[in-house]
């Protein structure tokens, strides 16, 4: 058994969480630079919890400049076992309405201006992201959302776009009609890929804020509308988070889906050819397999 530590990565509109016992903001240093902000750590119902505002308090980082590698490394470094992402998203389906939550389980990664891996020259690794979210953690999010009285949909494909501009009408229609996507956002990639490389369970809660730009009755997406919906959503997200500790418990077994063993057979570079500097940087992320 391992001690559980649940981290919440809060997206747009969520810059703190209340109710943690012994809560303190702490700066965590990583070999990949500074995380988005200090990390708030404490406990809830006897379970260790951490919170990291993805864009930083005051919303400093754009989706492109969020330091995704530093964020995931920092969470792993302080002992996090499970990451719940909470994100504002546009919807491609009439029935996924603003105010609803979707427990996303697939992604299409259209981002192109971000570092997407901890590995590279001198230590090459290939992990599977066929199933990029953890079903055990997603189950907990679904149950937590229902207990918090949130309208929640299970499963959906999240189109991760580079941004920061929203999509054109042609893009929105293509993602919806040709690619069959359910929601759109700018941040869950490469975050989910990096969490998998770091052998952390990851689940994603998409808070629907708008119909992107495809919906004839809703016009184009605007930040003012998103903020209005987020103001209603943030108390729902906090209620969801407060249910998680009792669902996940203070101790956990190995992940039944193998998220915590993702690197077991992933590293290709021969031990004698590995770059010692890169191996040193991988101490938190891949120390289990690199020794
Ligand atoms: C404020 S609208 C666009 C912005 O909101 C989402 O951020 P997050 O995923 O961190 O909640 C979206 O991905 C964009 O970054
Ligand atoms: N329509 C949209 N596109 C991309 N990111 C979003 N975040 C919230 N709404 C969005």
* Ligand 1 touching residue 185 (CB < 6 A): yes
* Predicted ipTM beyond 0.85: yes
* Catalytic residue positions, numbered: 210, 212
Where is average pLDDT lowest: 202-206, 208-212, 224-228? 224-228
Does residue 42 carry a pLDDT above 90?
Answer: yes
- DSSP characters for 56-96? TTTT---TTTS-HHHHHHHHHHTT--EEEEEEEEEESSTTS
Q: Are 107 and 192 in contact (CB under 8 A)?
A: yes
Q: What integer pLDDT is reported at residue 234 of this predicted model?
A: 87
Residue ranges per structural domain of the chain? 2-290
Write out pLDDT tens, residues 133-153: 999 999 999 999 999 999 999
* CA 28 – ligand 2 centroid, Å: 29
Q: What integer pLDDT is reported at residue 219 of this predicted model?
A: 85
* CA 73 – ligand 2 centroid, Å: 26
In angstroms, rounded to a whole number, what is the distance separating the alpha carbons of residues 164 and 15? 19
In angstroms, rounded to a whole number, what is the distance separating the alpha carbons of residues 178 and 171? 10
* CA 154 – ligand 1 centroid, Å: 20
2-290: CATH number: 3.40.50.1580
**Can you say which residues are annotated as belonging to the binding site for phosphate?**
12, 54-55, 87-88, 187
Confidence grade of residue 274 (pLDDT, cut at 50, 70, 90): very high
Does residue 260 carry a pLDDT above 90?
Answer: yes
* CA 121 – ligand 1 centroid, Å: 32
Write out pLDDT tens, residues 107-125: 999 999 999 999 999 999 9
Q: pTM of the entire structure? A: 0.98
* Ligand 1 touching residue 10 (CB < 6 A): no
Nearest-CA residue for ligand 1 atom 4 is 12
Angle between helices 283-290 and 68-77 (to 10 degrees): 60
In angstroms, rounded to a whole number, what is the distance separating the alpha carbons of residues 77 and 130? 25
Q: Which residues pair with 120 in a beta bridge?
A: 123
In angstroms, rounded to a whole number, what is the distance separating the alpha carbons of residues 102 and 152? 6
* CA 205 – ligand 1 centroid, Å: 12
Confidence grade of residue 291 (pLDDT, cut at 50, 70, 90): confident
Confidence grade of residue 263 (pLDDT, cut at 50, 70, 90): very high
Nearest-CA residue for ligand 1 atom 2 is 223
Write out pLDDT tens, residues 219-230: 888 899 999 999
Nearest-CA residue for ligand 2 atom 4 is 185
**Can you say which residues are annotated as belonging to the binding site?**
12, 54-55, 87-88, 186-187, 210-212
Peptide linkage before 46 cis (omega within 30 of 0): no
Nearest-CA residue for ligand 2 atom 5 is 185
E strand or H helix at 278, and its extent?
Answer: helix 276-281
* CA 265 to chain CA centroid, nearest Å: 24
Write out pLDDT tens, residues 6-17: 999 999 999 999
Closest C-alpha to 206, from 181, 223, 225: 181
Which of 176, 184, 231 has most ligand 2 atoms within 8 Å of its beta carbon, as the pocket-test mutant?
A: 184
Q: Which residues pair with 201 in a beta bridge?
A: 82
In angstroms, rounded to a whole number, what is the distance separating the alpha carbons of residues 156 and 132? 12
Mean pLDDT of the chain: 97
**Can you say which residues are annotated as belonging to the binding site for substrate?**
186, 210-212
Peptide linkage before 164 cis (omega within 30 of 0): yes
Q: What integer pLDDT is reported at residue 98 of this predicted model?
A: 96
pLDDT: which is higher, 255 or 235: 255
């Amino acid at each position: 058994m391992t001690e559980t530590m649940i981290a919440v990565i809060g997206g747009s509109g969520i810059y703190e969480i209340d109710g943690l016992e012994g809560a303190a903001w702490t700066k965590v240093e990583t070999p990949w630079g500074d995380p988005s902000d200090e990390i708030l750590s404490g406990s809830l119902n006897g379970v260790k919890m951490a919170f990291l505002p993805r864009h930083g308090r005051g919303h400093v980082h754009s989706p492109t400049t969020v330091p995704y590698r530093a964020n995931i490394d920092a969470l792993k470094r302080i002992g996090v076992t499970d990451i719940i992402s909470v994100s504002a998203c546009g919807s491609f389906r009439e029935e996924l309405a603003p105010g609803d939550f979707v427990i996303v389980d697939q992604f299409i990664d259209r981002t192109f201006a971000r570092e997407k891996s901890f590995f590279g020259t001198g230590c090459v690794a290939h992990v599977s992201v066929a199933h990029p979210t953890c079903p055990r953690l997603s189950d907990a999010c679904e149950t937590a959302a229902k207990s918090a009285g949130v309208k929640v949909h299970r499963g959906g494909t999240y189109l991760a776009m580079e941004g920061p501009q929203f999509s054109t009408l042609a893009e929105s229609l293509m993602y919806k009609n040709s690619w069959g996507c359910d929601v759109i956002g700018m941040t869950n990639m490469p975050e989910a890929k990096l969490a998998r490389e770091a052998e952390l369970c990851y689940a994603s809660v998409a808070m629907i804020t708008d119909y992107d730009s495809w919906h004839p009755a809703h016009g184009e997406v605007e930040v003012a509308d998103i903020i209005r919906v987020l103001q209603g959503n943030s108390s729902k997200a906090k209620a969801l988070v407060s249910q998680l500790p009792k669902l996940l418990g203070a101790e956990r077994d190995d992940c039944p889906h193998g998220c915590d063993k993702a690197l077991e057979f992933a590293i290709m570079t021969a031990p004698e050819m590995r770059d010692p500097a890169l191996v040193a940087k991988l101490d938190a992320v891949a120390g289990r397999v690199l020794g």
